[in-house]
Amino acid sequence: WNLVFTQFDRSEAGEYTPLAKKNIDTGAGLERIASVLQGKKSNFETDLLFTIIAYTAQIAGVEYGTAPKTDISLKVIADHGRSMVVMVADGVLPSNEGRGYVLRRILRRAVRHARLLGIERPFLAGIVDVVADIFAEPYPEIRSKAAYIKQVVGLEEQRFESTLVQGMEILNGYIEDLRASERKVLTGTAAFKLYDTYGFPWELTQEILRENGFDLDKAGFDAAMNEQRERARAARSDLAERTSLPDLSGLVTEKLKYDREANQGKVMLLFREGVQVKEIHDGQDGTVILDVTSFYAEGGGQVGDTGSIAGPLGQMEVVSTKKLPDGTICHLGRVTEGTISVGDMVSLIRDEERCRAIARNHTATHLLHAELKTVLGSHVNQAGSYVGPDRLRFDFTHFAAVSPDELSRVETIVNEAVMHNLSVSAVEMPREKAKEMGAIALFGEKYGEIVRVVSIGDFSRELCGGTHVRNTGEIGLFRIIGESSVGSGLRRIEALTGTGALSYVAQREALLAEAASLLKTRPDDIVQRIEAVQARIRELEKAQAAMEKRLMRGQVEELFSRRQKIGEVTVIAGEVSVQDMEELRAMADAVRDRLECGVVLLSTVTGDKVQYVAMATPSAVKAGVHAGEIVKEAARVAGGGGGGRPDMAQAGGRRPEKAAEGIASAIERLRSSLS
């Protein structure tokens, strides 16, 4: 590969000054070093990637190194397959944005190259186990998350498979049209159709075009993408535009009347499916805009109020309350009786029990925010939230997981604030005054000159437009039920309050009682009982390990009794009974340690697969033994593939009935190579 000899520092003026310490950038990363140490021509032939290539080649029924185009597809699948597994293990999910789009793009490119190899069915999920085996030691979390990774990869592959055939037919038609018209560039509009309708990333379309001698109008594709985004934005704001008419001036809803359980309002506007109407009838869905309301509109992480609107000739069930960009509040719902008409004077009836639950959770969120700053540090800032009637979720900036001890301290102090029954007040004031008072403003939020400050005694002070309890005692109980990561430097806490927290505690106590019953002890003695059970399990595991060691020793002695000699090389080969590849390698290692000049070839059958491992002593390697070639031959006979270093290699096959035949063939090949 290229070496870069760094000798000069280039200034902004373009002048070159010799470096005091010149250097050479070798580009010798981990994979390139591995290729050198393993004597391979490329990174793809090292044990970091070749196992994936062998697996894919076996599925496709092809052989690596026989055709350049085949090799390219095998390499693409190996590289992309490894990347997708690690990405999903790290929490990335396929999407159309950011990291998720990178994952979707490489996965779909891998699917396309699988088709080029003749693989017509979903198979990428199978790569997960191969990657997990390769990285079992440095990245054990891949193995522990294997089932989840397979599910994510499998579903995404199935989604793309369902449209791949149609999409390829369309693209092939485009290519034929380009040939017939002697044009060289596919229009951006056509490429966007493939992306929008068939899920083809533009990079994949461009790759296929270039393979056929054509190119893509990327600028045209970007323009088509931007047009779609504008259409979507216009559709989302359609209702807002319809209600931002001259006769709406001065009719912005009074948004902060939270002190009444029911009040009156006048129906100013009605909409059905975005179209302005005069009436909404029984069974019809619609949107109601009033001159005044006591319903809180969704915002600031808090869900909107629900309830009902009762007029002189009809009633509507309000299932959601939302706010337009200009501040106008929309009541969304269905008329359940009679008719609601423009001009009606209506009674507003909120679901007060639900409203109280939301208020408890919102005030608790403020207490939680304040206490996280106290326990974890002032760097903690809110990064998002959900405040509903059932629970609260609080996302915040922090560099590490919150420890159980820290969570306990936070929960305890929040509950102390609840028991102190602190007064909660909401006051509107100039933004600068609120800032001087130390009120917390949320990053990314836009505030006007007049802001609403919610204060909880001397405990908390935040800018907030949401609903809250009058006193913290109304919260009743605060209970944290979960803490997790939602991204780099971001944590999430989920919690319950009031009756929800009490129900949670009752469920946990019931679970504790059930566990105590199963363990045949009292709830207070569960820990001691579990410790006793674990001690017994350790004793049994120790006894089992001793038994397995005796069994392994017996199998090793049996193998030595059937050893062969090929020249100066001792050959120990046979099928053994072990649990997994790790035990198979351990047994082979134990046998090799007893040899001066020899090679070990062992196989084991697990389910519908056979696994092979071969190891050679240094003197045997000098004599011409290559463990990688030995297992490769054995696996070939057993319908699989694999390889590795001269001194150690492993492989697998999908025909366990051929396990012994594979060993015999490998020994004969070894005999031929040493003769």
On whether the pTM is more than 0.85, the answer is: no
Q: What is the pLDDT of residue 506?
A: 93
Write the DSSP string, 307-369. Answer: EEEE-SSEEEEEEEEEE-TTS-EEEEEEEEEEEEETT-EEEEEE-HHHHHHHHHHHHHHHHHH
In the chain, the N- to C-terminal Cα span, in Å, equals 38
Q: What is the pLDDT of residue 239?
A: 39
Which residue is it, tokens 């820990």? 527
Task: Give me the residues of the chain with pLDDT under 50, please.
Answer: 236, 238-252, 254-259
Distance, in Å, from the CA atom of 188 to the CA atom of 168, rounded to the nearest integer, reads 17
Q: Which of 612, 609, 601 minimizes the C-alpha distance to 650? A: 612
Distance, in Å, from the CA atom of 158 to the CA atom of 141, rounded to the nearest integer, reads 25
Q: What is the pLDDT of residue 390?
A: 94
- Per the CB < 8 A criterion, the answer to whether 523 and 516 are in contact is yes
Distance, in Å, from the CA atom of 53 to the CA atom of 651, rounded to the nearest integer, reads 12
Q: What is the pLDDT of residue 14?
A: 87
585 token code pair: 């390698």
Share in percent of the chain as helix, strand, coil (round to 5): 50, 25, 30
Q: What is the pLDDT of residue 76?
A: 94
What is the Cα 233 distance to its own chain's centre? 27
- Per the CB < 8 A criterion, the answer to whether 493 and 478 are in contact is no
233 token code pair: 């934005």
Tell me if residue 480 falls in helix, strand or coil.
strand
Which pairing describes strands 345-350 and 307-310: parallel, antiparallel, or unpaired? antiparallel
459 token code pair: 């405990």
Write the DSSP string, 36-72. Answer: HHTT-SSGGGSTTTHHHHHHHHHHHT--TTS-HHHHH
Q: Which residues of 588-610 are buried (b: 16+ CB within 10 A; e: fewer)?
A: beebbeebebbbbbbbbbeeebb
Contacts of 454 by beta carbon, 8 Å cutoff, 6+ apart: 366, 424, 425, 426, 460, 461, 462, 463, 464, 466, 468
Contacts of 181 by beta carbon, 8 Å cutoff, 6+ apart: none
What is the Cα 242 distance to its own chain's centre? 39
209 token code pair: 């075009």
Domains of the chain, CATH where assigned: 1-35 (no CATH), 38-183 (no CATH), 247-350 (2.40.30.130), 357-499 (3.30.980.10), 562-674 (3.10.310.40)
- Per the CB < 8 A criterion, the answer to whether 62 and 73 are in contact is no
Distance, in Å, from the CA atom of 135 to the CA atom of 52, rounded to the nearest integer, reads 12
Q: Which helix (H) or strand (E) holds 542?
A: helix 526-561
Distance, in Å, from the CA atom of 590 to the CA atom of 474, rounded to the nearest integer, reads 68
Q: What is the pLDDT of residue 204?
A: 80
Average per-residue pLDDT for the chain: 87
Beta bridge partners of 271: 276, 287
Distance, in Å, from the CA atom of 92 to the CA atom of 486, rounded to the nearest integer, reads 11
Q: What is the pLDDT of residue 437?
A: 84
Q: What is the pLDDT of residue 79?
A: 95
Distance, in Å, from the CA atom of 521 to the CA atom of 532, rounded to the nearest integer, reads 12
Tell me if residue 105 falls in helix, strand or coil.
helix
Distance, in Å, from the CA atom of 266 to the CA atom of 253, rounded to the nearest integer, reads 11
Q: Which of 194, 201, 117 minimizes the C-alpha distance to 156? A: 201
